[in-house]
Amino acid sequence: MKNLIMTIAAIALTAFTVQAQVNTDVNEKTTVKKVTEKGTTVKTKVTKNTKTAKDVLKVEGDDKQDQKAMRITDLDENNEVIENAEMIDPENSARMMANEKRKEMQLQESIDMQMEAAKKEKQMLMDKKMQMEQEMMERRNMLMKRPEGMSKLNKDIDGDGIK
Tens digits of per-residue pLDDT, 51-102? 888 887 777 666 666 667 777 788 888 888 877 777 777 787 888 889 999 9
The pLDDT tens digits of the residues spanning 27-41 come to: 777 777 777 776 667
Instruction: Give the model's pLDDT for residue 20.
Output: 52
* 147 in a structural domain: no
**Domain count for the chain:** 1
| Domain range enclosing 67 | 20-88
What's the pTM? 0.38
Give the 3-state secondary structure of the chain: CHHHHHHHHHHHHHHHHHCCEEEEEEEEEEEEEEEEECCCEEEEEEEEEEEEEEEEEEECCCCCCCCCEEEEEEEEEEEEEEEEEEEECHHHHHHHHHHHHHHHHHHHHHHHHHHHHHHHHHHHHHHHHHHHHHHHHHHHHHHHCCCCCCCCCCCCCCCCCCC
The reply to whether 73 falls in a domain is yes
State the pLDDT at residue 7: 84
Does some domain include residue 160?
A: no
Task: Grade residue 123 by pLDDT with cuts at 50, 70 and 90.
Answer: very high
In a domain, 74, yes or no: yes
